[in-house]
Amino acid sequence: MTKRVAILGMGRWGRTWKRVLGEIPGVEVVGDDHLDTGGRRPDYADVIAATGVDAVIITLPVGLHVDAIRHAVERGIPVLCEKPLVATRAELGELVALVDETAVVVRVSQNYRSRGWVRATRTAVADLGAVRHVSIAFAQPEFLDGGRGALPHPLLDDMAIHHMDLLRHLTDSEARVLGAWSARPEPTQYSGETDLDAVLRLSNGALVSYAGTWAARGATTPWDGDWEIRCDGGTVHVHDRRVFVETSAGDLTSRDVTEDPEDADLAAVWVEFAAALDGDPDAGVSVADNARSLSLVFDLQDHALRRTDGSAGTGRGEQK
């Protein structure tokens, strides 16, 4: 049976979703022609109300997520929402309460979980036993699209949710923030803080080092970051999305990583969401699960930004 899906927000990421869904049998994209692709005016409520759909995908600016989810849930329409899910702790609490009170399916698109290197790394970590230490490194040059240039801390406001979610997913553990420090090396095109060093602790006591810059000069990492996960039985190294296991010093064994075609991770997210629509309560990333990852980002913001400007603000610009 064909599923009719409306994409709310036809910016760069909305157009990407439209292309991905257009290649999946049994999915029909409807309603996207009602949206203003330039000024992004908030006419998503009209689309939800006027279009008979089986689900909506929300790629609106993050400040509109809660309102759009509420409109859909009130009409019994399932939701797949892009990250970051919300912009503030208050919005997160409001959304968690909303979802807790409804049987309507609401899921979050944490697409990095569906990448080949992530599957290989999770398997390797499980094979090596308890995690003892994690290092995460991220470095990308400025990317000003979608208002990111004006964010208080673009790395924390837009990218860190991926890394914090992967930390929990790869280690199968919860974490808490011990400290975070941000900086803004010159020159940079961003108006906010671009760099971050942070220390976290996993629930088993293992320490985590998270170091990133979104104003990189020279060497870069993938958007996913490079990872080193030390376990009881050895170390998992992830470099440029390639996975190596080191069980004795200097002896690295490559793990097979499925080569991901372009946007295959989004297609995989859709498959999980479709399974949730068909009644699987464990399919996809739930709001409750994502709230734990997003809370780590808010904790990083609280630690880092209060040290630089005395505040703990969490402004964000657009979707994804």
Q: Pairing state of beta strands 195-202 and 106-109?
A: unpaired
* Per-residue confidence (pLDDT) for residue 315, from 0 to 100: 37
Q: In percent, how much of the chain has pLDDT > 70?
A: 92
Q: Which of 111, 87, 66, 91 is nearest to 301 (CA)?
A: 87
pLDDT digits (tens, 9 = 90+) for 22-63: 999 999 998 765 554 455 445 788 888 876 899 999 999 999
pLDDT digits (tens, 9 = 90+) for 91-141: 999 999 999 999 999 999 999 999 999 999 999 999 999 999 999 999 999
DSSP E strands in the chain: the ranges are: 3-8, 27-29, 55-58, 79-82, 106-109, 131-139, 175-183, 195-202, 207-213, 226-231, 234-239, 242-248, 251-255, 285-286
What the block records as the tokens of 263 is 């946007």
Q: Which of 108, 200, 205 is nearest to 162 (CA)?
A: 108
- Domains along the sequence of the chain with CATH: 3-112+264-284 (3.40.50.720), 116-256+296-309 (3.30.360.10)
pLDDT digits (tens, 9 = 90+) for 185-235: 989 989 899 999 999 999 999 999 999 999 999 999 999 999 999 999 999
Angle, helix 65-74 to helix 89-100, in steps of 10 degrees: 10
User: How far from the centroid of its chain's Cα atoms is residue 285's Cα?
Assistant: 10
